[in-house]
Amino acid sequence: MSDEVKPDRPSNSPVRVVQLVERILALHESEMDCESCGQQIDCLAELVAVGQDPRLLLPAVQAHLECCRDCREEFEALLCILRAEQSGQF
Ligand SMILES: [Zn+2]
């Protein structure tokens, strides 16, 4: 019999998903600088603007914002714009 039943794809495994997330977070923690922070800052601002907790979603970006004034000012400016857009939609 050559038609063996193939096992489920590994992507269905929750362990694999956790490993991927951990790897992404580790990468961001070690490589977070103003440039990579800036690439995610608009994403983070959008999440915060809709009421999500940035410390849970993008902890490395949040950590960088807390110790980098330049990026925090950019973040707050973005957040202001997003909130103004939101209130303009009413
Ligand atoms: Zn920075």
pLDDT in tens, 3-32: 666 665 555 677 877 777 777 666 555 567
Kindly indicate the confidence band of residue 77, based on its pLDDT and cuts at 50, 70 and 90: very high
Q: The tokens of 8 are what?
A: 């489920």
The rounded percent of the chain whose pLDDT value lies above 90 is: 31
Give me the residue spans of the domains in the chain: 45-90
| Residue 52, pLDDT above cutoff 70 | yes
Most confident among 12-16, 36-40, 62-66, 69-73 (mean pLDDT): 69-73
The tally of CA atoms less than 13 A away on the side-chain side of residue 50 is 6
| CA 64–ligand 1 middle distance (angstroms) | 6
- 84 C-alpha to ligand 1 centroid (Å): 24
CA of 5 to the centre of ligand 1 (A): 51
Q: Which of 26, 35, 83, 81 is nearest to 59 (CA)?
A: 26
